[in-house]
Structure 1
Amino acid sequence: MTIRALITDKDGEGYATKLTTIDQADLGEGDVTISVEYSTVNYKDGLALNGKRIMASYPLIGGIDLAGTVEASDSINFQPGDKVLVNGYGLSQTHNGGYSEKARVPAEWVIPLPEKFSTRDAMAIGTAGYTAMLCILALEHGGLTPASGDVLVTGANGGVGSIAISILSGLGYNVLASTGRPSEAEYLKSLGAADIVDRNTLSEPGRPIGSEKWAGAVDSVGSHTLANVLAQTKYEGVVAACGLAQGMDLPASVAPFILRNVTLAGIDSVNAGRAKRIEAWERLAKDLDPAKLESTISEVKLEEVPDVANAILAGKVRGRTVVNVQS
């Protein structure tokens, strides 16, 4: 049986991604076969499709997220007809990912779809929304509450940022949204941002410690931005770091940690444990406003994914991009 798949390959001239057909037997190892209905395009997908550090071998089917219906299962935990989702793990790194009409994955990677969500909803959330919730859980674990003060969200126009703003504002936090696109202020405020912070005030080298401005932050940018966020975090504040859009470096000092007792929580969505994943998805079902989620979505077909991947690396994509795999 042949299926459509978006395959990234490498040759002497570079990297290329094209829509083609493959035999279902070539999907790879796993004990659950899923008919994929939707996937997503995340920043990490943009990196993967452009040959930037993600894929460990070629050719490979990209897509770090997928949601659909179980077609066959050798696991007692899943039956044909079950609605499920997969985020991260080896998808698009060492294992074929979600940009295919079918996927075969290990059962331990598979999460039952919360009843509140359709498979499209789950991919509108995707790794970005699941990561945003992991960040919020980390802020709460550090003791942050709405009474603690403002919470800053960097990379606010992206998937993590958009969903973090939506959830935090719904929980009662006063959210500041950092963006380099002033034209997006109305969109960000519609998600719940109370005010906009110019990205340029955070992205250049700054002082080791500055005036106290926010009690917490969700950062998907890294580098000088994260250093400046830490330097301006209030006493006993909490910062969750989940991304590296500006860079992997952290040109900061220990001053915020030893003078203000600031906590820096690292967030890994790829290999997070199953219990943490289930907790995050249960909280998403409880705390994410479906109307706000819908306002962040654009939908594309498989063949449009490479163009979106390029646009997301160029910082030209707002919110969440859902891939309708079967269209």
Structure 2
Amino acid sequence: MFNALVVEKDDETGKTSAGVSQISLDDLPHGEVTVAVEYSTVNYKDGLCIGPGGGLVRRYPHVPGIDFAGTVEASEDDRYKPGDKVVLTGWRVGEAHWGGYSQKARVKADWLVPLPEGLDTKQAMAVGTAGFTAMLAVMALEDHGLKPGHGPVLVTGAAGGVGSVATAILGNLGYEVAGVTGRPETADYLKSLGATQIVAREEINETVKRPLESEMWSGCVDAVGGAMLARVLGQMKYGASVAAVGLAGGAALPATVVPFLLRGVNLLGIDSVMQPYDNRLRAWSRIASDLPMDKLEAMIQPATLSDLPKLGSDILAGQVKGRVVVDVNA
């Protein structure tokens, strides 16, 4: 028997509740590889799955946790053998398939990647889906021409998980980083990660009637969406790109096509869930080389399985700064 965070649903009321319970290997879903989980983390999707589900969870009882890192314990696939260190992000694990909030997990071999050289399992979960997504966004911007010296790169939702890692990576690569935050108390934190400019959220989250404003940003990692993304599109420099990674400010986009037509602005969609294996390896390799580990350590908020119900509600309320690292064995 081992510990896991199990979410139950009351069929009569429809309400869910989450708590640490003991389960066995027989309870785990089918998969070719069994992993002794060491660390997991907390993302916005995890908050939904710990709480009401947000339409992501198909069946109860359920074990959330869309990320985990640990050691292979048993494998029916030749690519992995007992003792191998592995990382999992995405593939709807923690949503449709039981996830990483457990001391053991069983998953498909195709969903795993080897732990990149230069990272340990704790650091990998300080990165997690949020950091992996941030790296994918930076890679996409670079693939579309972004280079240091072209001007400031905007990061919206900069104090959140994706924003924190994006700020640290961009700063480390020599970019000027303008971090947008609605929490003035996070300004020193963002500057410590590499932000050279702090932009108050209220300065940029209103829709304006003008489809184009002054050219300000050479690139943008946007975790907010909604009216803020619409506004940012009109402020991008000619030929610049926005990597859209989230919708904390809403899924609607009250924008016009004018920035695309008159300034050649690119809107790049970043999906981390179904990302092909080769690009996953590329992103994790870049994380190991381009994310400064001291900055990563500064983002970490430690947690245990028993802390997760509160952290789940906190992240939905926008009250989590940086990266939560969950020690599932603590």
Q: TM-score, normalised by structure 1?
A: 0.98
State the SS of the aligned residue for 2:196: strand
Cα deviations by residue, 1:111-147 (Å, 9 ceiling, x for unpaired): 0001211100000000000000000010011111012
Code of the aligned partner of 1:230: L
How big is each residue's C-alpha offset from its partner over 1:60-113, in whole Å with a ceiling of 9 and x where there is no partner? 110000000000000100000001010010211210000000000000001000
Of the three residues 216, 226, 231, the one matched with 1:228 is 231
1:176-215 equivalent positions in 2, closer than 5 A: 176-207=178-209, 208-215=211-218
**Could you say which residue in structure 1 is the equivalent of 2:25?**
24
Aligned to 1:107: 109
Q: Say what the alpha-carbon RMSD is for the aligned residues.
A: 0.9
Q: Which amino acid aligns with 1:155?
A: G
How far apart are the structure 1 equivalents of 2:160 and 2:284? 19
Q: Which residue does the alignment assign to 2:320?
A: 317
Specify the code of the residue in structure 2 equivalent to 1:9: E
Match of residue 239 from structure 1: 242
Q: What SS is found at the alignment partner of 1:60?
A: coil
Letter aligned with residue 211 of structure 1:
S
Is residue 305 of structure 1 aligned with residue 308 of structure 2? yes
Secondary structure, aligned partner of 2:71: strand
The equivalent of 2:66 in structure 1 is 64
| 1:134-193, Cα deviation, whole Å (9 max, x unpaired) | 000100111110122110000011010000000001101000000001111111000000
CA distance in 1, matches of 2:56, 2:251: 14
Partner of 1:307, secondary structure, is helix
Report the 3-state secondary structure (helix = DSSP H, G, I; strand = E; otherwise coil) of the residue aligned with 1:306.
helix
Q: Take 1:48 and 1:221, find their aligned partners in 2: how far apart are those partners?
A: 20
User: What residue number does 1:130 align with?
Assistant: 132
Question: What amino acid is the match of 2:27?
Answer: D
What amino acid sits opposite 2:299 in the alignment?
A: T
Question: In the alignment, residue 241 of structure 2 is paired with which amino acid?
Answer: V
Name the CA distance, whole Å, in 1 between partners of 2:315 and 2:302.
14
Paired residue secondary structure (1:225): helix
Task: Give me the whole-angstrom Cα distance separating, in 1, the residues matched to 2:21 and 2:79.
Answer: 32
Deviations 1:213-265 (A, max 9, x none): 10110001111111111111111001000101111111111011001000010
Aligned to 2:36: 35
Q: Quote the offset at 1:45 in angstroms.
A: 0.9
SS in 2 for 1:295: helix
Distance 1:98 1:47 in 2: 15
The correspondence for 1:82, drawn from 81, 84, 92, is 84
Any idea what SS the aligned residue of 1:185 has? helix
For residues 282 and 91 of structure 2, the distance between their equivalents in structure 1, rounded to whole angstroms, comes to 17
- TM-score of the superposition, structure 2-length normalised? 0.97
User: Deviations 1:8-62 (Å, cap 9, x if unpaired)?
Assistant: 2222141211111112111101000000000000112112222212222222110
Bigger drift between 267-276 and 199-208 goes to: 199-208
Q: Matched residue pairs, number?
A: 326
CA contact (8 A) 1:7 1:62 kept: yes
Alignment correspondent of 1:249: 252
| SS of alignment partner, residue 146 of structure 1 | coil
Cα distance between partner residues in 2 of 1:124 and 1:230: 30
Q: Which amino acid aligns with 1:289?
A: P
Whole-angstrom distance in 1 between the partners of 2:45 and 2:179: 22
Distance 2:306 2:262 in 1: 52
Looking at structure 1, the residues matched to 227 and 247 of structure 2 have their Cα atoms a distance apart, in angstroms, of 10
The AA in structure 2 aligned to 1:291 is D
CA distance in 2, matches of 1:222, 1:58: 31
1:120 aligns with 2:119: no
Secondary structure, counterpart of 2:149 in structure 1: helix
Q: Which runs of 5+ in 1 are unaligned?
A: none
For 2:262 and 2:48, how far apart are their aligned partners in 1?
A: 37
Work out the CA distance in 1 between the residues paired with 2:61 and 2:235: 45
- Residue of structure 2 in register with 1:98 after alignment: 100
Percent sequence identity is 52
Aligned 8 A contact 1:206 1:224 in 2? no
1:152 and 1:87 map into 2 onto residues whose CA distance is: 26
Report the Cα distance in structure 2 between the residues aligned to 1:38 and 1:242, rounded to whole angstroms: 24
CA distance in 2, matches of 1:47, 1:60: 12
Q: 1:166: which partner in 2?
A: 168
CA distance in 2, matches of 1:170, 1:284: 11
What amino acid sits opposite 2:283 in the alignment? Answer: A
Match of 1:157 in 2: 159
